[in-house]
Amino acid sequence: MTTITCIEDLKALYKQRVPKMFYDYTESGSWTEQTFESNATALQHILFKQRVLVDLSQRSVASTLLGQPVTMPVALAPVGLTGYQHADGEIKAAIAAARFGVPYTLSTMSICSIEDVATKTSAPFWFQLYVMRDRDFIRRLIQRAKAAECSALVLTVDLQILGQRHKDIKNGLSTPPKPTLKNIINMATKPRWGLGMLATPRRDFGNIIGHVAGVKDTGSLSEWTREQFDPGLNWDDVAWIKDLWGGPLIIKGIMTPEDACLARDHGADAIIVSNHGGRQLDGAPASIQVLPAIKAAVGDRIEVLMDGGIRSGQDVLRALASGADGTLIGRAYIYGLGALGEAGVRETLNILRNELDLTMAFCGCTNIANVSGDILWS
C-alpha cells in the first residue's frame, strides 16, 4: 500500500475506491469551475515569512471554536451524500472528529440521520440547515437537532437556488441519485465500496425520508426535493430560525462585508466565509480573497470562519493569518473517508495538524492564538 504523507495521497486512493459519480460530485464546481479551482490556487499564492532563532520547544495549535476547546481551529464542513462516499460515512466522520477533538457538521442532505449520528457518538456535533418551503418540516428538523443536543446550528444561505454542475447532470446525480448504465458498470468495479454499502441499512436520506408526509422512499423524495429549496428565504427568516433554535447560530455562505454585517446584526454568533466550494456562483472570488475585507468589517464582534480550497495545514495557517478565527474542511476529509473510512478521516486531521504545527514553527510562532498577518509576505 502507498505510504500516505499528504492529502493528495488520500485523494488518489479515494479516486481508486469510490464510484466515479461520487468522485465527480466531490470534485466539481458549477459551470466553468473557475471559482472551484481558484479556491485552492488563491491560497497557494499567499507566501509565508520564515523566521529563525526562535525557541520552538513549546508549541500549541489548540484553540476554541464558538467557545468549545478544539485540538486545532478546524471543523469538518457539512457535505451532502457523505454516506454514499463510504458506508455510514457521516457516522464514521463524526466519530473520527470527536476522537480527534474538532467539531463535525452534519448536513441536512445526509444519508445517516441526526439520530443515527447522535446514537453512535458521544461528543456534540453541529447541524447544518437548508431551509425548505415546508416550514413545518424545518421546525421539526430543528427540534430533532435540539433533541440530539447538537451544539450549533449552521444555516446555509447560498442555496436558495441550485447552481448548475455539468458533471452531476451527466452522471445522473440528482436527489436521490439515478445512476446511468455506465455508472452502474463503474460501481461494479469498486467491490470494497459496494460491500460496505450492501452491509449497511443506511442508504436513504435519513433526515427526510419518513419525516415528511408522503415521502416514504427515494421515488417520492425526488419529487419533493425538486420543489423544496426556498428562493424566498431572506433576512427576516433568520430571527424565526434563531428563536426556534435558541443556541449558537452560524450563518454559512457569506461573501461580502455587507452580508457579514447583516449576519452580525441579525444575531449570528459566527459566519462562514464560503462560496459553497465553487458549486453555486461561478465567477465569484475565492473565499480567501474576500476574507480580509470581511474580517475588517466585523472585527471581533462575531467569529469569522472560512472554508473553500483548504487542502493542507499550510492552507489553514494562511486563512488564520488572513483574519479567520477558524476554518472548515470538506473535500479534504471526504478524500480520507472514501479512501480509508474512519481511519482516513483521522489521517486527514493528523496530516493537517502536523503541517499546521510545522509551518507555524517555521514562521517563528509557537502558539496558534498569536498568528497574525505578520507571518505573511504582503
What is the percentage of the chain residues whose pLDDT exceeds 90? 87
Q: Angle formed by the axes of helices 287-298 and 313-321, to 10°? A: 40
| Residues paired with 212 in a beta bridge | 215
Question: Which residues touch 315 (CB under 8 Å, ≥6 apart)?
Answer: 40, 43, 309, 327
Strand runs labelled E in the chain: 63-65, 68-70, 74-76, 105-106, 126-129, 152-156, 249-254, 270-273, 303-306, 326-329
**Average pLDDT estimate for 199-226:** 85
Q: Is residue 2 part of a domain?
A: no
* Per-residue pLDDT, 150: 98
Per-residue pLDDT band for 154 (boundaries 50, 70, 90) equals very high
Measured distance CA(14)–CA(281) in Å, rounded:
27
**Residue whose C-alpha is closest to residue 123's, from 156, 89, 87, 148:** 148
Grid cell for residue 353: 495538524
Task: Tell me the CA end-to-end span of the chain in Å, nearest whole number.
Answer: 41
CB-based contact 63:373 (threshold 8 Å):
no
Summarize pLDDT for 36-86 with one digit per residue, the tens: 999 999 999 999 999 999 999 999 999 999 999 999 999 999 999 999 999
CATH of the domain at 62: 3.20.20.70
Q: Is residue 1 part of a domain?
A: no
* Per-residue pLDDT, 1: 62
**Average pLDDT estimate for 108-136:** 96
Q: With a threshold of 0.85, does the pTM exceed it?
A: yes
Per-residue pLDDT band for 175 (boundaries 50, 70, 90) equals low
Question: Which residues touch 265 (CB under 8 Å, ≥6 apart)?
Answer: none
Measured distance CA(171)–CA(302) in Å, rounded:
40
Residues belonging to the active site? 276
Q: Is residue 139 part of a domain?
A: yes
Total domains in the fold of the chain:
1
Whether the predicted pLDDT of 292 surpasses 90 = yes
- DSSP letter assigned to residue 247: S
- Domain limits for position 239: 7-375
Q: Is residue 31 part of a domain?
A: yes
Task: For the chain, give the mean pLDDT.
Answer: 95
